[in-house]
Amino acid sequence: MADPRGFLKFTREGPQRRPVELRVKDYKELYNPFEDEKLKVQGARCMDCGVPFCQSSTGCPVVNLIPEWNDLVHRGRWKDALKALHTTNNFPEFTGRLCPAPCESACVLGINSDPVSIRVIEWNIIDKGFEEGWVEPVLPVVSTGKKVAVVGSGPAGLAAAQQLARVGHQVTVLEKADRIGGLLRYGIPDFKMEKWVLDRRLEQMREEGVTFETSVCVGVDTNLDALRRDFDAVLLAMGAEQARELPVPGRELKGVHLAMDYLTQQNKRVAGDAIHEEEISAKGKRVVVIGGGDTGSDCLGTAHRQGCVEAHQFELLPEPPPTRAGSTPWPLWPMRLRTSHAHEEGCDREWSISTTKFSGENGHVTKLHTNRVVFEEGKIVPVSGSEMEMDADLVLLAMGFVGPVKNGLLDSLGLNYDARGNVGVDEHFMTNIDGVFASGDTKRGASLIVWAIAEGRKAAQGVHRYLQAGQSLRTP
Ligand SMILES: Cc1cc2nc3c(=O)[nH]c(=O)nc-3n(C[C@H](O)[C@H](O)[C@H](O)COP(=O)(O)OP(=O)(O)OC[C@H]3O[C@@H](n4cnc5c(N)ncnc54)[C@H](O)[C@@H]3O)c2cc1C
Ligand code: SF4
183 Cα–ligand 1 center, Å: 4
Which segments of 291-435 are extended strands (E)? 310-314, 348-350, 353-361, 364-376, 379-382, 388-391, 394-397, 401-403
112 lies in the same domain as 79: yes
Q: Are strands 211-213 and 388-391 parallel, antiparallel or unpaired?
A: unpaired
pLDDT at 366 over 50: yes
pTM here is 0.97
Q: Is the CB of 61 under 6 A from ligand 1?
A: no
Instruction: Decide if 141 is inside a domain.
Output: no
pLDDT for residue 181: 98
pLDDT at 471 over 70: no
The average pLDDT across 261-276 equals 97
pLDDT for residue 378: 85
pLDDT at 52 over 90: yes
Tell me the torsion sign for CA atoms 462, 466, 467, 473.
Answer: positive
Specify the length of the chain in residues.
476
99 lies in the same domain as 154: no
pLDDT at 433 over 60: yes
Instruction: Please tell me the distance from the alpha carbon of residue 332 to that of residue 105, in angstroms, as a whole number.
Output: 7
Domain of 380, CATH number, reads 3.50.50.60
Instruction: Decide if 415 is inside a domain.
Output: yes
261 lies in the same domain as 348: yes
446 Cα–ligand 1 center, Å: 8
pLDDT for residue 409: 84
Q: 202, 238, 401, 442: which to mutate for ligand 1, most atoms within 8 A of CB? A: 238
295 lies in the same domain as 388: yes
172 lies in the same domain as 27: no
- For residue 188, the ligand 1 atom closest to its alpha carbon is 3
pLDDT for residue 348: 95
Burial class (CB in 10 A: 0-12, 13-18, 19+), 112: exposed
- Looking at 378, 399, 420, the residue that finishes a domain is 399
Question: Phi and psi of 457, rounded to 5°?
Answer: -65, -40
Q: Where are the alpha helices (DSSP H) in 168-293?
A: 183-186, 196-207, 224-230, 259-270
61 Cα–ligand 2 center, Å: 15
The average pLDDT across 10-34 equals 97
Using an 8 Å Cβ cutoff, are 187 and 263 in contact? yes
The average pLDDT across 94-118 equals 97
**pLDDT category of residue 302 using cuts at 50, 70 and 90:** very high
Q: Where are the alpha helices (DSSP H) in 175-253?
A: 183-186, 196-207, 224-230
Residue 148 or residue 1, greater confidence: 148
| HSE of 439, CA atoms in CB hemisphere, 13 A | 34
**How many domains would you assign to the chain?**
3
348 lies in the same domain as 312: yes
Give SS3 for 222: strand
Q: What CA–CA distances, in Å, run from 157 to 55, 414, 438?
A: 23, 22, 9
pLDDT for residue 333: 92
- For residue 115, the ligand 2 atom closest to its alpha carbon is 2
pLDDT at 57 over 90: no
Q: Is the CB of 174 under 6 A from ligand 1?
A: yes
Using an 8 Å Cβ cutoff, are 306 and 266 in contact? yes
231 lies in the same domain as 256: no
Ligand nearest to the CA of 101: 1
Mean pLDDT of the chain: 95
Structure-derived torsion over alpha carbons of residues 285, 289, 294, 299, reported in degrees to the nearest 10? -20
Q: What CA–CA distances, in Å, run from 383 to 10, 315, 374, 380, 460?
A: 49, 15, 7, 10, 50
3-state helix, strand, coil in the chain (%, to 5): 35, 15, 50
Give SS3 for 115: coil
Instruction: Decide if 476 is inside a domain.
Output: no
Which segments of 261-352 are extended strands (E)? 286-290, 310-314, 348-350
Q: What percent of the chain stands above pLDDT 90?
A: 94
Give SS3 for 242: strand
> pLDDT tens digits for 311-363?
999 999 999 999 999 999 999 999 999 999 999 999 999 999 999 999 999 99
Instruction: Please tell me the distance from the alpha carbon of residue 269 to that of residue 264, in angstroms, as a whole number.
Output: 9
- Give the N- to C-terminal CA distance of the chain in Å, as an integer: 27
- For residue 441, the ligand 1 atom closest to its alpha carbon is 26
Give SS3 for 84: helix
Q: What CA–CA distances, in Å, run from 31 to 18, 51, 474?
A: 6, 32, 36
Q: Where are the alpha helices (DSSP H) in 48-88?
A: 66-74, 78-88
Q: Are strands 436-438 and 233-236 parallel, antiparallel or unpaired?
A: parallel
Domain span at residue 56? Answer: 6-131
> pLDDT tens digits for 171-220?
999 999 999 999 999 999 999 999 999 999 999 999 999 999 999 999 99
Residues with CB under 6 A from ligand 2: 46-49, 52-54, 66-67, 70, 107-109, 116, 118
The angle subtended at Cα 61 by Cα 476 and Cα 450, nearest 5°, is: 85
pLDDT at 411 over 90: no
Q: What CA–CA distances, in Å, run from 416 to 335, 401, 409, 420?
A: 33, 19, 13, 11
Ligand nearest to the CA of 151: 1
Using an 8 Å Cβ cutoff, are 171 and 209 in contact? yes
Instruction: Decide if 319 is inside a domain.
Output: yes
Instruction: Please tell me the distance from the alpha carbon of residue 60 to that of residue 66, in angstroms, as a whole number.
Output: 9
393 lies in the same domain as 254: yes
303 lies in the same domain as 198: no
Question: Who contacts 339 (Cβ-Cβ below 8 Å, separation ≥6)?
Answer: none
- For residue 408, the ligand 1 atom closest to its alpha carbon is 41
Residue 140 or residue 412, greater confidence: 140
pLDDT for residue 408: 75
pLDDT at 469 over 80: no
> pLDDT tens digits for 218-227?
999 999 999 9
Instruction: Decide if 428 is inside a domain.
Output: yes
pLDDT for residue 442: 98
Q: Is the CB of 301 under 6 A from ligand 1?
A: no
pLDDT at 472 over 70: no
252 lies in the same domain as 390: yes
**pLDDT category of residue 470 using cuts at 50, 70 and 90:** low
Instruction: Decide if 216 is inside a domain.
Output: yes
Tell me the torsion sign for CA atoms 279, 285, 288, 294.
Answer: positive
- Looking at 104, 131, 158, the residue that finishes a domain is 131
Domain of 100, CATH number, reads 1.10.1060.10
pLDDT for residue 476: 38
Question: Residue 257: beta bridge partners?
Answer: 396
Q: Is the CB of 295 under 6 A from ligand 1?
A: yes
Instruction: Decide if 472 is inside a domain.
Output: no
| DSSP symbol at 299 | H
116 lies in the same domain as 174: no
30 Cα–ligand 1 center, Å: 21
11 lies in the same domain as 110: yes
Instruction: Decide if 138 is inside a domain.
Output: no
- Looking at 358, 381, 399, the residue that finishes a domain is 399
pLDDT for residue 194: 98
Residue whose C-alpha is closest to residue 360's, from 245, 246, 248, 244: 248
